[in-house]
Structure 1
Amino acid sequence: MEKKKNAAAAAAKKKKRESDGPARKRARSGGACADAAGDRISNLPDAILGTIVSLLPTKDGGRTQAVSRRWRHLWRSSLLNLEVGAFLSATAAAKIISDHPGPARRFCLRPGDSYADVDSWLRSRALAGLQELVIYYARASARTLPLSALRSAASTLVVAKFIGCEFPNESVKPSMDFNLPLLKQVTLTNVSILGDVFHGLLSGCHALESLSMWIVQTAGCLRVCSPTLRSIGFHLYSGEELVIEDAPRLERLLLPYASMARPMTIRVIRAPQLKILGPFTPDISKHQVFQGMNLVSLENSMRTVKVLAVGSCNHQLNAVLSVLRCFPCLEKLYVIFYRLYGKDKENEPRYDDRLQPIECLQNHLKTVVFKFYSGNEQQVAFARFLVLNSKVLNKIEFQVHEDYKSQSMARIHSLLKVENRASQDIQIEFRGNCYFVYYHAKRCIHDLSMADPFR
Structure 2
Amino acid sequence: MWLPSSVARLQNHQGPVRRLSISWSGWLPETFPESILRSPLLDKLQEFELYANSSFPLSVLGIIPVLRVLFISRVQSSVEIAGTFNFSSLKQLALTDAEISDTALHCILSRCPVLESLVLDRIQGCSRLQISSSTLRSLGVANGGKSGGRKLEELIIEHAPLLERLIPQISCYGLVIRVIKAPKLRTLGYLQDDIPTFEFGTMVFESMMPISMSNIMRSVKILALLTAPNLDLVTGLLRCFPCVEKLYIVSYTRMIYKNMQCYAPLECLDQHLKRLQITNYEEKRADVNFVKFFVLNARVLESVKLIVRTENCDAKWTARQHRKLQVNNRASHGARFEFEARKWSPSSAHMKHIHDLAMDPFDISSCRCHDVAFH
Match of 2:276 in 1: 368
Aligned residue type for 1:131: Q
Match of 2:75 in 1: 165
* Gap change, CA 1:127 and 1:377, over 3 Å in 2: same
> 2:20 is matched with which residue: 98, 103, 107?
107
Aligned residue type for 1:249: L
> 2:108 is matched with which residue: 201, 208, 233?
201
Q: How far apart are residue 276 of structure 1 and its match? A: 1.1
Give the 3-state SS of the residue equivalent to 1:167 in structure 2. strand
Does the aligned pair in 2 maintain the 1:254–1:441 contact within 8 Å? no
Give the 3-state SS of the residue equivalent to 1:84 in structure 2. coil
Aligned residue type for 1:415: K
> 1:449 is matched with which residue: 354, 358, 361?
358
Higher relative contact order (CA 8 A, sep 6+): 2
> 2:297 is matched with which residue: 389, 412, 431?
389
Query: What does residue range 315-334 of structure 1 map to in structure 2 within 5 Å?
Result: 316-334=230-248
Aligned residue type for 1:378: A
Q: How far apart are residue 95 of structure 1 and its match? A: 3.7
> 1:241 is matched with which residue: 136, 154, 158?
154
Q: Which moved more, 1:238-247 or 1:294-303?
A: 294-303
TM-score (norm 1): 0.68
Gaps of 5+ in 2: 145-150, 365-375
Q: Does 1:271 align with 2:179?
A: no
Q: How far apart are residue 363 of structure 1 and its match? A: 2.3
* 1:5-64 deviation per Cα after TM superposition (whole angstroms, max 9, x unaligned): xxxxxxxxxxxxxxxxxxxxxxxxxxxxxxxxxxxxxxxxxxxxxxxxxxxxxxxxxxxx
Does the aligned pair in 1 maintain the 2:203–2:216 contact within 8 Å? no
Does the aligned pair in 2 maintain the 1:337–1:371 contact within 8 Å? yes
Greater fraction of residues in strand: 2
Does the aligned pair in 2 maintain the 1:102–1:128 contact within 8 Å? no
Does the aligned pair in 1 maintain the 2:18–2:46 contact within 8 Å? yes
Gaps of 5+ in 1: 1-82
CA RMSD, Structure 1 to Structure 2 (Å): 2.9
Q: How far apart are residue 408 of structure 1 and its match? A: 5.8
Does the aligned pair in 2 maintain the 1:163–1:189 contact within 8 Å? yes
Q: How far apart are residue 158 of structure 1 and its match? A: 1.3
Aligned residue type for 1:329: C
Give the 3-state SS of the residue equivalent to 2:39 in structure 1. coil
Match of 1:135 in 2: 50
Aligned residue type for 2:214: E
Task: Name the CA distance, whole Å, in 2 between partners of 1:102 and 1:208.
Answer: 28
Aligned residue type for 1:235: A
Does the aligned pair in 2 maintain the 1:318–1:352 contact within 8 Å? no
Task: Name the CA distance, whole Å, in 1 between partners of 2:137 and 2:298.
Answer: 31
Greater fraction of residues in helix: 1
Give the 3-state SS of the residue equivalent to 1:116 in structure 2. coil
Q: How far apart are residue 167 of structure 1 and its match? A: 3.0
Give the 3-state SS of the residue equivalent to 1:422 in structure 2. coil
Match of 2:261 in 1: 353
Task: Name the CA distance, whole Å, in 2 between partners of 1:94 and 1:423.
Answer: 61
> 1:289 is matched with which residue: 198, 201, 213?
198
Q: Does 1:145 align with 2:61?
A: no
Does the aligned pair in 2 maintain the 1:302–1:328 contact within 8 Å? yes
Give the 3-state SS of the residue equivalent to 2:40 in structure 1. coil
TM-score (norm 2): 0.81
Aligned residue type for 2:263: L
Q: How far apart are residue 354 of structure 1 and its match? A: 2.4
